[in-house]
């Protein structure tokens, strides 16, 4: 439920990632004055749930007013699909290292949709760092957000309505809690290349960016960008 002044927040979780791993994101929105966000977990794809069916479960949790949709990993594709159905009721769409589905593509659906159906403002945060591991290709591309289905592809499909930041030293699971408990933690790779203290600062700055973007209904504050640039000058898309 919203607190009456700010829109409802619905978080679309990633594949096989339980709600408790999004506790810090939930807490950041609560601290910013929002009512407790709803976290919608995905059913196992092996059970046959498509992106469209996942999006319908998200829509069932959305109230009658405006909504901020936050999607992580495959939940980003679910959030985009839900936003296309909600049209103007999606006040902001925030995608954290989103991953599209190869068979029921939300990106293709967005490309085929009229401009009026697209969310007016979208924040995309790509976190491609995967580290050196036998799980990865020779160039250490993240297996959890492969090329052609990652944030770059979402940004290309959404065009001018998307603000796209790429954090090259940050991994797919970085903004989640209890990351090592996840079955996909080895597959997705290390969560950060940065020093621990720098990583903690970056985490706080990114969570603040998410809530500020939602509160301003799609404006990226210069103060947030300056803070990110000071923490990690290699971030792409800050200017």
Mean pLDDT of 137-152: 75
Share of residues in the chain with pLDDT > 70 (%): 91
The pLDDT of residue 221: 85
In the predicted structure, residue 140 carries a pLDDT above the cut 70: no
Compute how many other C-beta atoms are within 10 angstroms of the C-beta atom of residue 227: 17
Q: How would residue 44 be classed by pLDDT, with cut points 50, 70 and 90?
A: low
Give the confidence band of 132 by pLDDT, cuts at 50, 70, 90: low
> Which tens digits make up the pLDDT trace of 9-43?
999 999 889 999 999 999 999 999 999 999 999 87
Distance CA 182, CA 106 (A): 25
Q: Supply the pLDDT for residue 189.
A: 78
**How large is the angle between the packed helices 74-86 and 51-61, nearest 10 degrees?**
60
**Backbone dihedral region of 166: left (phi > 0), alpha (psi from -120 to 50 degrees) or beta?**
beta
Indicate the average pLDDT of the chain.
89
Per-residue pLDDT tens digits for 63-96? 988 999 999 999 999 999 999 999 789 999 999 9
pTM more than 0.85: yes
- Residue 155 in contact with residue 124, Cβ under 8 Å? yes
Give residues with Cβ within 8 angstroms of 18, minimum separation 6. 41
Quote the percentage of the chain above a pLDDT of 90. Answer: 64
* Residue scoring higher pLDDT (164 or 43): 164
pLDDT for 235 equals 96
For position 102, what pLDDT does the model report? 75
Q: Which CATH superfamily is domain 8-231 in?
A: Alpha/Beta hydrolase fold, catalytic domain (3.40.50.1820)
């Amino acid at each position: 439920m919203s607190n009456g002044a700010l829109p409802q927040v619905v978080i679309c979780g990633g594949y096989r990632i339980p709600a408790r791993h999004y506790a810090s994101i939930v807490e950041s929105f609560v601290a910013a004055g929002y009512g407790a966000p709803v976290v919608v977990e995905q059913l196992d794809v092996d059970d046959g749930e498509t992106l469209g069916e996942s999006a319908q479960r998200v829509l069932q949790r959305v109230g009658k007013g405006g909504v901020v949709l936050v999607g992580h990993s495959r939940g980003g594709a679910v959030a985009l699909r839900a936003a296309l159905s909600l049209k103007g009721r999606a006040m902001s769409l925030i995608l954290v290292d989103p991953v599209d589905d190869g068979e029921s593509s939300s990106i293709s659906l967005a490309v085929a949709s009229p401009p009026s159906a697209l969310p007016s403002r979208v924040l995309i945060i790509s976190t491609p760092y995967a580290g050196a591991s036998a799980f990865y290709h020779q160039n250490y591309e993240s297996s959890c957000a492969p090329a052609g289905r990652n944030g770059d592809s979402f940004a290309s499909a959404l065009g001018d309505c998307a603000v796209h930041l790429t954090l090259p030293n940050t991994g797919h699971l970085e903004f989640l809690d209890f990351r090592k408990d996840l079955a996909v933690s080895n597959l997705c790779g290390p969560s950060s290349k940065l020093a621990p203290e720098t990583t903690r600062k970056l985490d706080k700055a990114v969570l603040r960016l998410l809530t500020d973007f939602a509160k301003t209904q799609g404006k990226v504050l210069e103060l947030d960008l300056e803070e990110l640039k000071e923490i990690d000058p290699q971030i792409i898309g800050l200017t």
